[in-house]
């Protein structure tokens, strides 16, 4: 038993010496991590990642200077920490912008690709003219010097504009030959819409939901109307299964 005692005491002595080594290594590793994190934070937050470059694409109606002005608040911001949501929201406040896609271009750049609203009609409001998008929302004042396209003129209160533009787009898709002859559409006080075209050259009154079918029927009856020399002050298509020709004195023919 005495010969084993030194061996047992040696094991106990070794066990007591290992604990400080393990604790010391853990402390050194934790210190290393802290120093590394601090260095990385200092590196990522440094001037190397300050936003300086803006790559703008997709804009035709919107001037590049307008987009850059909207981005002034974020110039020199840290690109690593930059939240892109408020940047996109700011750009989308520009009149012509429909959508925007942003991408960080490290170390100091931001890629901005925009999609623009497409004008489909022209709103007459008082003495002013405004371009309308496919949702019936005004985009910007109309400038004939900068825009040579031809548009259908729309008149009416703003609440009716989405329905008026929806009717135009429906006619464009289903009756392109009639749409190309259409010049004006307006909201009627007693319901529906009044239209002017270069085919009949008189007001054509329709309801929005069945206008393409009624106008198609009117086009097919055109030869009959002209052969009988029925002169009308207006053509009303708002009645079921009838084309009403309003005469000069208010009394009309129907077919």
Tens digits of per-residue pLDDT, 36-90?
Answer: 555 445 545 558 899 999 999 999 999 999 999 999 999 999 999 999 999 999 9
pLDDT of residue 122: 98
Q: What is the pLDDT of residues 17-30, one digit of tens each?
A: 555 667 766 766 66
Q: Which residue in the block uniquely carries the two structure tokens 């009416």?
A: 156
pLDDT of residue 29: 66
Q: What is the largest CA-CA distance in the chain?
A: 138
Q: Tell me what the mean pLDDT of segment 88-110 comes to.
A: 97
Q: Tell me what the mean pLDDT of segment 145-161 comes to.
A: 94
Secondary structure of the chain: what % helix, strand, coil (to 5)?
40, 25, 35
CATH 1.10.357.10 fits domain 48-116: no
Q: What is the pLDDT of residues 178-228, one digit of tens each?
A: 999 999 999 999 999 999 999 999 999 999 999 999 999 999 999 998 898
Please provide the average confidence, as pLDDT, over all residues in the chain: 87
How many angstroms separate the CA atoms of 177 and 180, rounded? 5
pLDDT(250) > 50: no
CATH of 121-254, one of 3.40.50.11690, 3.50.50.60, 3.40.50.9100, 3.40.50.1370: 3.40.50.11690
pLDDT of residue 127: 93
Residue 151 backbone dihedrals phi, psi, to 5 degrees: -130, 150
pLDDT(98) > 90: yes
pLDDT of residue 99: 97
Domain extents for the chain? Answer: 48-116, 121-254
Long-range contacts of 184-190 (CB under 8 A, 24+ apart): 184/152, 184/153, 184/154, 184/155, 185/152, 185/153, 185/154, 185/155, 186/154, 186/155, 186/156, 187/155, 187/156, 187/157, 187/160
Q: Tell me what the mean pLDDT of segment 10-20 comes to.
A: 53
pLDDT(236) > 60: yes
């Amino acid at each position: 038993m005495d010969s084993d005692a030194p061996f047992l005491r040696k094991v106990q002595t070794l066990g007591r010496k290992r604990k400080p080594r393990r604790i010391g290594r853990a402390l050194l590793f934790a210190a290393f991590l802290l120093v590394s994190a601090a260095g990385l934070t200092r590196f990522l937050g440094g001037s190397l990642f300050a936003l300086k470059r803006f790559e703008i694409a997709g804009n035709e109606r919107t001037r590049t200077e307008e987009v850059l002005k909207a981005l002034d608040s974020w110039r020199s911001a840290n690109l690593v920490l930059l939240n892109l949501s408020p940047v996109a929201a700011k750009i989308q406040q520009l009149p012509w912008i429909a959508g925007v896609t942003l991408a960080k271009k490290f170390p100091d750049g931001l890629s901005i690709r925009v999609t623009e609203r497409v004008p489909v009609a022209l709103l007459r409001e008082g003495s002013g003219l405004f371009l309308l998008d496919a949702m019936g929302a005004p985009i910007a004042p109309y400038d004939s010097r900068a825009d040579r396209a031809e548009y259908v003129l729309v008149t009416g209160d703003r609440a009716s504009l989405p329905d008026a533009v929806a009717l135009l787009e429906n006619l464009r898709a289903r009756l392109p030959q009639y749409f190309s002859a259409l010049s004006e559409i307006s909201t009627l006080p007693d319901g529906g819409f009044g239209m002017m075209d270069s085919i009949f050259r008189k007001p054509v009154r329709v309801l929005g939901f069945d206008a393409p079918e009624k106008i198609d029927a009117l086009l097919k009856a055109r030869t009959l109307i002209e052969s009988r020399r029925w002169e009308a002050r207006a053509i009303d298509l708002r009645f079921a299964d009838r084309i009403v020709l309003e005469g000069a004195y208010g009394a009309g023919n129907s077919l």
